[in-house]
Structure 1
Amino acid sequence: MDENDSSIYSVSGSENVTEAECFWFNDTTDENLTALARNYIYSDLDAVFHIVVLPVILLIGIITNCAFLFVVYRIPSMRTVVNQYLTHIAIGDLLFLITAIGKKILKFSSSKNKFDSGAFWGHWIEVCCHTVNYTTIFASVLIMTLVGFERFYAVCRPMRIYAATTNQRMVKILLSIVWTLSAALALTTIPAIIQVRVYCVYWPTTPEFEGLDEKFATYFSYSNAALAYTSLVQTVPFFVVMGINSVLYAKMISTMSWRLGTMQAHDLDTHNNVELRNKVAIMLIINGVTFFTLTFPFQFVSFINGILTLCNETQLLGAKCKTFFQILLYCNSLINPIIYNAANSRYRSAFKTAFGIDKFDCIGYGCTIGSRQYNAPLNNGNVKESPTKNTITTTYSNNYTTNANGDILLESDTKC
């Protein structure tokens, strides 16, 4: 099972375009033919899915990901190594939602026949959308691994991550490698939709089938082996990466628990610094767990279907289950910026600043000016408690800051 549902078409023929058999549903004496013909058109549930569910997911996904990109663009302190990775994930999510969901909506609006893949556009556009879909799927998995390693070293090997955060060239090289490798893998999956088959249909004469074209085109794989390869090359890297990230998350949680316990036992001033860094790590762990949870059902069924295809067996699950798993996959592409804001106050503050919402915080609660917090008088004329030296952070360079106690905060801690 892949994102383009190419697996629903049978494999036959050796040419790129083949003329297939005709379907005769216009025999008015056989009521079963009318019921069979309904399997070829969108049902009322399909209509709700394409008219309501998919557009809502697409709209929310565009808003959340564009908002995150806007915040990173407007707030210089958000341009950290972690946020560079998250920016590329947001770009990939946007491309995935636009090509995957946009294609389904346009396909639905162009034909009532659910198997008509060529009513709105040509074969080459279908290939382009397929390639972009798989490129973003591969890239998201690989970039999520880069995020996991970056946070792992920030928590468990803090001295190493300090050197890495200043090496912007290495970050760009890693991201270039990820996108190049993802595109190369996506190109190898094109044989899954390389062939075009044209069918002719003689629809029943009832009103519900009026206006349907008598010919429609479908795109399918060159062979069962090509279809199985597409499912396996999509899923195997996912499970490998999920295992690697699970180990990283477990080590980070263990280290954070041990370190915070040590700080509390010795009552060290660096406790706040470590806790600050760990909050960012926890946010990214939540983000990673959500990513793998939402994509696991789709990837698992795709893996099983790939094995069954190799064995020439019937594929697992029906269309409704596949649709539900696809919805989870789409939701993963819109939920990341929501997690950033829900799990970390620094991201919430950056969003407020970027969109000018922080100005409303000045009324009765104090204004934030520069990197220091000043409190405005209350309505009764009294002044709130003055900021202590522990609440004032002074910036000394682009790479690190220190608080009033002289504790060093790494860039990856202070700017996430």
Structure 2
Amino acid sequence: MSENIFSKITTMSVVGNHTVVTSMADNTTQDRGVFFLDDPSQFFYTASSTTIITVIMPLILSIGIIANCAFIYIIIRLKRMRTVTNFYLANLAIADFIYLCIVVSDKLLRYYTSPFSKDYSPWGSQPCKLITALIFVPHFVSELTITLFTFERYTATKHSRRTLYTKTKLKCLLYIIVTWIISGALITPCLYFINGKTFLLRWIEDDALKERIIRKCGPFPITLFGGVTLQCHALQTVPFFFSAVMIIVLNTLIVKALNKSTIVSKKLFSKDNKALAERKQIIRMLIATSIIFYICVLPYYIDDIINALVRLNLITQFKIPAEFLQIGRFLAYSNSAINILIYNMFSKRYRQAFYKVYCCCKDTPAFDQESFTNRSWIHKITLRRLNGTKHIPNFHEHIPTISKACQENPGIKEEVIENKKLPTIYEEAACDSTMVTEYIATISESTYL
């Protein structure tokens, strides 16, 4: 049997414990790397991989589909939830939905059609570029969307008045489209280098010759025993760490600005400002979303970083335990399914919206009159200055300002806003136009939360 196997071999070499055929007389295998495997089991799925792929990943996929679709439906169902921030979160849900569907479908298809864990042949003759793009584009969209809504929260918190002119749903949709375009551009270097190569594997099993043709994806040069290379997977860490640094800086600035707003609110009012409290909940929720995202995907990138450092000869060969990689993948996939849980955990508004849509609950006073009171009238705000100046009919075209009316009026008795009255502001607070304007911008901002 062995004589028949190797009768057409012209050149052989040994890699590890395996015999590598570098050329053969058989024309049908000239374009393939041909390997005679002494122990093919090391290329098969491990017991832990089998459990994750057949049990855990379908469960995560089911939860992710239900959770992300549920959140998108809430936004469609409730007009009051169609805000700038929620549009960004809906984009994140769409990206997570696509990512989960593609990555889990890929794992399941390859598992049930081939015993080899690195075999991409079930996807066809040229699957590598397509699968890579379908997996990593929505992943990059998630990173960019988190960066985008963090920056949006920063501008809303730090520059409230300016944001009232610039934050519109149309611009939000434009930014979302741009994130998908940029994500497609970010994957271009990887698509340039990545390709597929066919290998013919042969081994002896039960005294019989077995063989199978597999197709492995990877950046050139593709080897059966090789892993990722610097050109592709290591480059994916660049946008990851860039966005992570930006989010850390922006969240730090947001917390500082939020603390400042709290001080202003306490100076203006003796009781709690509900709009400011609600804004705090939203910001905490968004910060938690970004932190959990980066914690979950960080292990996934550690493997890429170590492989890149090894190939650059900056560190010695280091092999990460397979269990660590499995945990990293589990966290990355789970993150795409749990965002709606984060929203409900950190924000009363999202809990109430969820109950309204899915629990058939009647509107509670807190839901209708507190969380969304400002939305119905803030767009038609009319501000009357007490020093005799003209009305401001269009809030979006004029920054609300308070002149130094305290010189003639010791306090601001009323600010008329569509039959709504701002709480009375007395003495030194009335003289501080910056503080008053900050309050007006703060309550107005709830329109966009």
TM-score bracket for the superposition, by shorter chain length:
0.7 to 0.9
- Residues 256, 42 of structure 1: alpha-carbon distance in 2 compared, 3 angstrom cutoff: same
Question: Distance in 2 between the 1:213 and 1:349 partners?
Answer: 59
Partner SS for 2:198: strand
The alignment status of 1:171 with 2:172, answered yes or no, reads yes
- Residues 399, 99 of structure 1: alpha-carbon distance in 2 compared, 3 angstrom cutoff: farther
Partner SS for 1:334: coil
Shift of 1:231: 2.2
The 5 A counterparts of 1:162-311 are 162-166=164-168, 168-205=169-206, 214-223=212-221, 227-268=229-270, 271-311=273-313
Alignment RMSD, CA only? 3.2
The alignment status of 1:396 with 2:377, answered yes or no, reads yes
Alpha-carbon displacement from aligned partner over 1:303-354 (angstroms, at most 9, x marks no partner): 2322323449646414322221111111111121111111101111111222
The alignment status of 1:147 with 2:149, answered yes or no, reads yes
Question: Distance in 2 between the 1:159 and 1:189 partners?
Answer: 42
Question: Distance in 1 between the 2:87 and 2:94 partners?
Answer: 11
User: 1:406 is matched by which residue type in structure 2?
Assistant: L
- Residues 391, 305 of structure 1: alpha-carbon distance in 2 compared, 3 angstrom cutoff: closer
Out of 359, 368, 378, which is 1:371 matched to? Answer: 368
- Provide the residue aligned with 1:20 in structure 2: 33
Shift of 1:145: 1.0
User: 2:41 is matched by which residue type in structure 1?
Assistant: R
Question: Distance in 1 between the 2:418 and 2:148 partners?
Answer: 27
The 5 A counterparts of 1:75-154 are 75-118=78-121, 120-154=122-156
User: 1:169 is matched by which residue type in structure 2?
Assistant: L
- Provide the residue aligned with 1:413 in structure 2: 446
- Residues 351, 411 of structure 1: alpha-carbon distance in 2 compared, 3 angstrom cutoff: farther
User: 1:200 is matched by which residue type in structure 2?
Assistant: L
Partner SS for 2:33: strand
Shift of 1:266: 4.9
Shift of 1:180: 0.8
Looking at both structures, which has the greater relative contact order when contacts are Cα pairs under 8 Å and sequence separation is at least 6?
1
Partner SS for 1:214: strand
Whether the 8 Å contact between 2:36 and 2:201 is mirrored in structure 1 is yes
Whether the 8 Å contact between 2:200 and 2:213 is mirrored in structure 1 is yes
Shift of 1:403: 9.3
Whether the 8 Å contact between 1:80 and 1:411 is mirrored in structure 2 is no
User: 1:81 is matched by which residue type in structure 2?
Assistant: V
Gaps of 5+ in 1: 1-11, 26-35, 374-389
Question: Distance in 1 between the 2:372 and 2:236 partners?
Answer: 48
Alpha-carbon displacement from aligned partner over 1:339-396 (angstroms, at most 9, x marks no partner): 111110111111122224324xx8xxxx5599348xxxxxxxxxxxxxxxx9966822
Gaps of 5+ in 2: 1-20, 23-29, 382-416, 424-439
User: 1:219 is matched by which residue type in structure 2?
Assistant: C
Whether the 8 Å contact between 2:300 and 2:332 is mirrored in structure 1 is yes
User: 1:143 is matched by which residue type in structure 2?
Assistant: T
Whether the 8 Å contact between 1:227 and 1:309 is mirrored in structure 2 is yes
Whether the 8 Å contact between 1:116 and 1:217 is mirrored in structure 2 is yes
Whether the 8 Å contact between 1:341 and 1:347 is mirrored in structure 2 is yes
- Residues 24, 232 of structure 1: alpha-carbon distance in 2 compared, 3 angstrom cutoff: closer
Larger radius of gyration: 2
User: 1:276 is matched by which residue type in structure 2?
Assistant: E
Out of 55, 72, 77, which is 1:74 matched to? Answer: 77
Shift of 1:220: 2.5
Equivalent residues, number: 365
Alpha-carbon displacement from aligned partner over 1:174-214 (angstroms, at most 9, x marks no partner): 222221111122132124531312222224218xx99x753
User: 1:257 is matched by which residue type in structure 2?
Assistant: N
Whether the 8 Å contact between 1:155 and 1:277 is mirrored in structure 2 is no
The alignment status of 1:52 with 2:55, answered yes or no, reads yes
Whether the 8 Å contact between 2:88 and 2:149 is mirrored in structure 1 is yes
- Provide the residue aligned with 1:379 in structure 2: none
User: 1:328 is matched by which residue type in structure 2?
Assistant: L
Identity, in percent, stands at 23
- Residues 247, 146 of structure 1: alpha-carbon distance in 2 compared, 3 angstrom cutoff: same
Partner SS for 1:358: coil
Question: Distance in 2 between the 1:147 and 1:42 partners?
Answer: 40
Alpha-carbon displacement from aligned partner over 1:149-168 (angstroms, at most 9, x marks no partner): 111112121112211223x3
Question: Distance in 2 between the 1:368 and 1:45 partners?
Answer: 50
Shift of 1:69: 0.8
Partner SS for 2:200: strand
- Provide the residue aligned with 1:61 in structure 2: 64
- Residues 343, 123 of structure 1: alpha-carbon distance in 2 compared, 3 angstrom cutoff: farther
Question: Distance in 2 between the 1:254 and 1:353 partners?
Answer: 34
- Provide the residue aligned with 2:404 in structure 1: none
- Residues 123, 95 of structure 1: alpha-carbon distance in 2 compared, 3 angstrom cutoff: farther
Whether the 8 Å contact between 2:43 and 2:116 is mirrored in structure 1 is yes
Partner SS for 2:361: helix
Question: Distance in 2 between the 1:320 and 1:246 partners?
Answer: 29
Whether the 8 Å contact between 2:100 and 2:336 is mirrored in structure 1 is yes
Question: Distance in 2 between the 1:223 and 1:307 partners?
Answer: 18
